[in-house]
Chain A
Amino acid sequence: GAGVSQSPRYKVTKRGQDVALRCDPISGHVSLYWYRQALGQGPEFLTYFNYEAQQDKSGLPNDRFSAERPEGSISTLTIQRTEQRDSAMYRCASSLELAAGYEQYFGPGTRLTVT
């Protein structure tokens, strides 16, 4: 595709509900990354995939957060039993290769608000 797309762009949910955030990377990009950006902060790494394999999930805050990329393309970040502290901008990025120095292309983000 022309760029990384994310859906929904905005999500308001009530505390305790589950949410699923979707990322569609640039076609042909093998690596996909999830970041979370709190207000007034820079993006913070959550997890990444090389093809369909999740190779680092050290940034996921707790076990309510999970991510998958079953066919090596579209990825879903799921947050179970949402809490107000989960409110943030969730950003997805993709890169052509998994290697240091390769630039990551970012999507527009999903702004999650938990009420």
Chain B
Amino acid sequence: AQSVTQLGSHVSVSEGALVLLRCNYSSSVPPYLFWYVQYPNQGLQLLLKYTSAATLVKGINGFEAEFKKSETSFHLTKPSAHMSDAAEYFCAVSETYKYIFGTGTRLKVLA
């Protein structure tokens, strides 16, 4: 069965520092993987997705994620955090049409 684990429900970084949000997945077949961001009072917005074309995926707002099959990971990174990156981030896995989401990581950016 598919599952997603996001380590760290809350992550704090200083403005300008590296952002690293962790996601590990479980899937019986090569999965599709997604990162979504949720700003307050808004819907989930797609940051990036992995569909087996390339292991390093670049998304919007300077975010990227690397698919590592051997580690069953799809961690999200950004070299330099901005105040506007403060939000909740969700990793999701999909083998078919159905998404399985992690429990989310709330990112706080400190001035």
Contacts and interface: CB of A to CB of B under 8 A. Distances in A.
A103 interface: yes
Interface of B: 4, 9, 32, 34, 36, 41-46, 49, 51, 90, 92, 94-104
A42 B96 contact: no
Interface string A39-66: 0111111001000000010000000000
Given A42-B101, A44-B101, A101 B94 contact: yes
Interface residues of A, number: 28
B98 A45 contact: yes
Contacts of A102: 97
Given A100-B32, A103-B49, A109 B97 contact: no
A106 B43 contact: yes
Contact of B97 (A40, A91, A100): A100
Contacts of B41: 108
B43 A108 contact: yes
A74 interface: no
A108 B42 contact: yes
Contacts of A106: 36, 43-45
A4 B32 contact: no
A31 B44 contact: no
Contacts of B98: 33, 45, 48, 56
A98 interface: yes
Given A99-B97, A104-B99, A42 B43 contact: no
A45 B99 contact: yes
B94 A42 contact: no
Given A33-B98, A108-B43, 8 more contacts: A4-B43, A31-B97, A42-B103, A45-B100, A99-B97, A100-B97, A101-B51, A106-B43
